[in-house]
Chain A
């Protein structure tokens, strides 16, 4: 699959490394040059340096032909704008977005082609389900 990843922070670079290792074609877009150093040494995809909130940068990343975009910068508002650009300006068929503030989740409600991953909700759910599984219930 051809995947464009927006944001090469800790999350983006981890995803980029693992997905490229399993054979996907990856382009990573990142504004800060320093953040590319987080990519693992065996990352075999492409790096585009630039602000993903500019159409030209997304175009350069080839997002038009992407099968999937993963939007994972550290800013909810930036993620929202980039998601809408990918969806409306470039017709990306599927977009996965990271959300940070749980209050933002409903902003993506009824949004087709877009799926959110709320880091705090996911973490909390995992912890709760572990507690439930191990029977650490209230007496």
Chain B
């Protein structure tokens, strides 16, 4: 595939190397002349020096024959503009933008950007997961972190220990997917009783995760 990458820094360098090794044709656009010159020595692809938000520069980079454009600058307004320009002026089918301000994610999706790296939300949820306690396991994120699936072990001081599920006051956005007891899986029903040592599989929104851990994991 013909892929255009916009931006600089180590991220672009390693990304380009990786994509090239997989057989893609890479063009990098960077507006720092020195950096562009350095990249051209190290990367086996086309390097264009210029501002990708200018139509002429995108044209020079061969945007009309690109399959994908990825815009990874630090400025959301440039990322949006470059992606939209690639689509409107050159008919690039897939565009990907880095979003620095998490509030822009919905707007960018609405405006037709095909995929979005919401870097702030991504890193913040990773940090939250890494600091949340040891008794949570097997965390999986779905749709770029919009939904998480994880396992919590029921501790002795947990509010849930010894209770039936229907007696518990669970937020509506938390779904129990399974109870693992002595290696056996039970599908939770309202009457299922939670015991100390059970592992509970929980599906929830990332922001409700802490609440779920509090209920089952104990303090």
Spell out A's residues near B (CB within 8 Å): 53-55, 75-78, 80-81, 84-85, 88-89, 101, 103, 106-107, 109
Main secondary structure of the interface of A (DSSP, over half): helix
**B22 CB within 8 Å of chain A:** no
**B76 CB within 8 Å of chain A:** yes
Contact between B111 and A88, CB atoms less than 8 A apart: yes
Q: Which chain B residues border A85 with CB–CB below 8 Å?
A: 107
Q: Which chain A residues border B46 with CB–CB below 8 Å?
A: none
> Which of A54, A80, A88, A89 is within 8 Å of B84, CB to CB?
A80
A80: nearest residue on chain B (CB-CB)?
B81
A110: nearest residue on chain B (CB-CB)?
B88
Main secondary structure of the interface of B (DSSP, over half): helix
Contact between B81 and A88, CB atoms less than 8 A apart: no
Contact between B84 and A107, CB atoms less than 8 A apart: yes
Contact between A77 and B53, CB atoms less than 8 A apart: yes
- Number of contact residues on B: which range applies? 20 to 34
By Cβ-Cβ distance, the 9 closest A-B pairs, closest first, are A81-B77, A77-B81, A103-B55, A77-B77, A78-B77, A80-B81, A77-B78, A55-B103, A77-B53
Contact between A80 and B107, CB atoms less than 8 A apart: no
Contact between A53 and B101, CB atoms less than 8 A apart: yes
B116 to chain A, nearest CB (A): 14
Q: Which chain B residues border A76 with CB–CB below 8 Å?
A: 53, 81
Contact between A106 and B89, CB atoms less than 8 A apart: yes
A85: nearest residue on chain B (CB-CB)?
B107
B34-62: CB near A (< 8 Å → 1, else 0) gives 00000000000000000001111000000
